[in-house]
Structure 1
Amino acid sequence: MISEELNKRITRVGPGTPAGAVLRRYWQPAALIEELEHGARVPVNLMGERLALIRDDAGQLLLATRVADADEAPTHYPPSDQIQIDADGPTYPVVQRAGAVFAYLGGGTPPAFPDFDCFRAPDTHVFAFKGLWECNWLQALEIGIDPAHASFLHRFLEDEDPDQSYGKQFRDKAGSTNIPMTKLLRDYPRPDILVDETDYGLKITALRHMEDGRTHVRVTNQIFPDAICIPMSREMTITQWHVPVDDRTCYWFTIFTSFDKPVNKELMRAQRLKEHSLPDYAPLKNRANDYHYDPSEQASLTYTGMGLDINVHDQWAVEGMGAIQDRTQEHLGRSDVAIIRYRRLLRRAMDALEQGADQTLLMQEDETANMRGPLSNDAIAQSDDWRNASHQADMQRRAACPWDASV
């Protein structure tokens, strides 16, 4: 457990806050490129600021401060023709990458983008989407760096044919076997978890030791300050940012990256629009309708009884903690090691900025532009060779990739 003062320090993100200062020193996804089709001005609510994507006199896209009523709800997005720009407010640079518009709200020169897989892959092999969650950004991030939660929260009591599950997480076969991922997570719910600090954040390795002398190795990553990179299937990875709208609301922005065939964007988008409404990308299942909880489904199909979309499971879990989780009452255990290590990174970064040691922040140097990867996959290997097997599985996927995924 932590003090109330520290909990406020690591969760609040408005202008002038310690955590907000850290987040502003990194490029953050502000909108999907597809949103630019809805009008000349696109409303953006980001880290407590009411903004809008506009084009300047030279036709360049930028993020400007918009005029907003004092009592305007944080998730209110006015129509394009009703957006008024505050001429005296700050403006911020933006770039378009991998289906999303990224903005930099910090001072000084923006950092370079790392050469991660999601930014290296051609447009044909990436797909971006987002979804709104009614909770603080930090608890949204922390569920993504907890490898143990998948065995419980995303427990499927029946295993569907993975060949029919394109675009759905945890529905592939585990490693190079015919074991459905859902079965492996269900049968081995208590992984050993190893966490290593890296140049980009944290490498998180979950080891599920099987009875036959083999080990399932799942490598995921925390990309500082508010993103994760995890395997979706053997073909695809997910890079996901948890971007604050304000202290009590956030968006997850996901870039799906394919190492094999071009992404079926039409199918991926259709799958997700079945669960979200436009223009705010709000989930159709939410607290107001009990997330469509169905006790008969819970008895025979899923742990939550809330459908087959794992985003809904995560949404229920993080929103159920309240808008801002009360960490003064939590009791972290062994499976929370990545969460503990991440909070240390965040506190270290906040302290560094306050002490003027900006150069110590992760991914701020010129070398960031050459940073590749990260390794993010599932593999099954003999238990005494899991490190090498995990690395080789990643190398084989990269070698067969139709675009340059070398590291």
Structure 2
Amino acid sequence: MISAQLNERITRIGPDTPAGAVLRQYWQPAALTDELEHGTRVPVNLLGERLVLVQDDGPLHLATRIASADEAPTHYPASEEIEIDPTGPTYPAEQRAGAVFAYLGAGTPPPFPNFDCFRAPDSHVFAFKGLWECNWLQALEIGIDPAHASFLHRFLEDDDPADGYGKQFRDKAGSTEIPMTKLLRDYPRPEINVDETDYGLKITALRHMEDGRTHVRVTNQIFPEAICIPMSREMTITQWHVPVDDETCYWFTIFTSFDKPVNKDLMREQRLKEHRLPDYAPLKNRENDYHYDPEEQASLTYTGMGLDINVHDQWAVEGMGAIQDRTQEHLGRSDVAIIRYRRMLRRAMDAMEQNDRDTLPMQDDGAARIVGPLSNDAIGDTRDWAEASHLADLDRRAGCPWDASV
């Protein structure tokens, strides 16, 4: 557990807050490229600021917009009539991998790291987003808990992976005969190792099997508020948990394919069945009990809330309240990545208060040399699980039609 004062310090993200200062040192997803089609001025609410994405007078950028104090924190339709506040700050913006990234910090923006999602061609990436009504930190922390998938995303039946394109855990673990859904059910208590890296944290979950083999699942925390996780053998997910304000956030996901071009029409169709436009709010939400169905819970999924794992996560993090009360929590062994991340965040906040930005991850020219990160599922001999994971990653990259070399 932590104090109420510390909980405030690590969650609040306004312009004059310690955590907000850290987040502003990084490029943040502000909108989907698709949204640029709706007008030359697209409203964006980001890090507690009311902004507008402007593409009508030179380079793409964010400007401060005139907004009422009581407006809803989420998106509303774009319009050329949106009024810009000439006294407010402006921020640079860049299009990358189907999303528009913005830098809200002072000084020169850091370089983009050479992550797979940024160096894959447009044909092999797809971006989407979704609204969650909770603080960004609890949204991130569920993504760096490898044990939660065995419970929250427990499927009581195993689908044919051939029918699972664009859906997480609809694959065979490590290209073996074992469906991921079965492996997560059968081995719910992984051994978890966490290593600090140049980009954040490498999180390795080991599920030791009775036959002398180990399933190795490598996921990553990309500082300050992103994750990179395997979706399937073919695809990874890089997901940012971007604060709209203190009590609302968007997850922005870039799906990256190492094999065939992404079927963008199918993936967009799948996700629009679960979200509304223009604000990308989920159709299953607190007001309709996330479409909970007790009959489904008895036979199909642990939550009884359908097969979309985003809904399971949404229910879990929104159920903690707008800002999770961490003064009563009791972290355990499986929360090691959460503990390590909070230490990184606190170090970064302390550094910013001492005007020591250079000690933050990925702030210098070396960021462009960071590749990957490794993010996959593999199965190998328990005595040599690390090598099995590494070789599985290299094998996938070797067959990639774009330069995914590491």
The alpha-carbon deviation at position 198 of structure 1 amounts to: 0.1
* Aligned amino acid, residue 363 of structure 1: M
Once the 2 structures are TM-superposed, how far is the Cα of residue 81 of structure 1 from its aligned partner? Answer: 3.8
Residue identity opposite 1:30 in structure 2? A
In structure 1, C-alpha distance between the alignment counterparts of 2:55 and 2:385, rounded to whole Å: 51
Q: CA deviation at 1:70?
A: 1.2
CA deviation vs aligned residue, 1:235-283 (integer Å, no higher than 9, x gap): 0000000000000000000000000000000000000000000000000
C-alpha displacement of 1:77: 2.0
Alignment of 1:139-288 (within 5 A): 139-288=138-287
CA distance in 1, matches of 2:11, 2:62: 24
CA-CA distance at 1:305 after TM superposition: 0.2
Q: Distance in 2 between matches of 1:239 and 1:70?
A: 33
Find the aligned partners of 1:194 and 1:290 in 2 and give their Cα distance. 35
AA matched with 2:168: Q
* Matching residue of 2:381: 382
Which range moved further: 47-56 or 327-336?
47-56
The letter of the residue matching 1:91 is: T
Which string of whole-angstrom CA distances, capped at 9 and with x for unpartnered residues, describes residues 341-393 of structure 1?
00000000000010121110100011111110100000000100100000000
Q: Which residue of 2 aligns with 1:323?
A: 322
Residue in 2 that maps onto 1:133? 132
Q: Report the more deviating stretch, 59-68 or 26-35.
A: 59-68
Report how far residue 332 of structure 1 moved. 0.2
Check the 8 A contact 1:56/1:62 in 2, yes or no.
Answer: no
Unaligned runs of 5+ in 1: none
Aligned length: 406
Q: Which amino acid aligns with 1:54?
A: V
Q: Following the alignment from structure 1 to structure 2, what is the Cα–Cα distance between the partners of residues 365 and 61?
A: 24
C-alpha separation in 2, matches of 1:170 and 1:118? 20
Q: Compute the displacement of 1:78 (Å).
A: 4.7
1:365 maps to which residue?
Answer: 364
Partner Cα separation in structure 2 for residue 347 and residue 78 of structure 1: 37
- Quote the Cα distance in structure 2 between the aligned partners of 1:260 and 1:76: 34
1:301-340 matches, within 5 Å, as 301-340=300-339
SS of residue in 2 equivalent to 1:254: strand
Alpha-carbon distance in 2 for matches of 1:358, 1:306: 43
Distance 1:361 1:81 in 2: 38
Q: Which amino acid aligns with 1:2?
A: I
Matches of 2:15 and 2:181, distance apart in 1: 42
1:75 and 2:48 aligned: no
1:132-183: CA deviations, max 9, x gaps?
A: 0000000000000000000000000000101110000011001021111000
Q: Which residue of 2 aligns with 1:44?
A: 44
The code of the aligned residue for 1:288 comes to E
Give the whole-Å Cα distance in 1 for the aligned partners of 2:161 and 2:384.
27
Q: Which runs of 4+ in 1 moved over 3 A?
A: none
SS across alignment from 1:251:
strand
1:21 corresponding residue in structure 2: 21
Q: Aligned equivalents of 2:197 and 2:9: distance in 1? A: 24
Q: CA deviation at 1:82?
A: 4.0
Per the TM alignment, residue 74 of structure 1 is displaced from its structure 2 partner at its CA by 1.0
Provide the rounded CA distance (Å) in 2 between the counterparts of 1:70 and 1:114: 36
d(CA) in 1 for partners of 2:358, 2:41: 35
The separation in 2 between residues aligned to 1:74 and 1:55, in whole angstroms, is 22
Which residue pairs with 2:6 in the alignment? 6
Q: What 5-or-longer segments of structure 2 have no aligned partner? A: none
Q: TM-score, normalised by structure 1?
A: 0.99
Q: Which residue pairs with 2:53 in the alignment?
A: 53
CA shift for structure 1 position 124 = 0.2
Contact between 2:77 and 2:278, CA under 8 Å: does it hold in 1?
no
Contact 2:40 2:56 in 1 (8 A): no
Counterparts in 2 of 1:375 and 1:76: CA distance versus 1, 3 Å = closer
1:109-150, Cα deviation, whole Å (9 max, x unpaired): 000000000001000000000000000000000000000000
- Work out whether residues 126 and 256 of structure 1, in 8 Å CA contact, stay in contact via their aligned partners in 2: yes
Tell me the CA shift for residue 56 of structure 1: 5.3
CA RMSD of aligned residues (A): 0.7
Deviation string 1:63-109 (CA, Å, 9 cap, x unpaired) is 00000001112125254144111111100000000000000000000
SS in 1 for 2:175: coil
Give 1:30's aligned residue.
30
Matches within 5 A, 1:108-123: 108-123=107-122
In the alignment, the residues of structure 2 paired with residue 270 and residue 393 of structure 1 have an alpha-carbon distance, to the nearest angstrom, of 31
What amino acid maps onto 1:353 in structure 2? M
What amino acid does structure 2 have at the position aligned with 1:260?
A: D
Q: Does 1:345 align with 2:350?
A: no
Code of the aligned partner of 1:370: R
Q: Which amino acid aligns with 1:42?
A: V
Supply the distance in 1 between the matched residues of 2:56 and 2:306 (Cα, whole angstroms): 44
Question: d(CA) in 2 for partners of 1:399 and 1:261?
Answer: 14
Cα separation, 1, equivalents of 2:164 and 2:295? 23
For residue 311 of structure 1, give the secondary structure of its aligned residue in structure 2.
helix
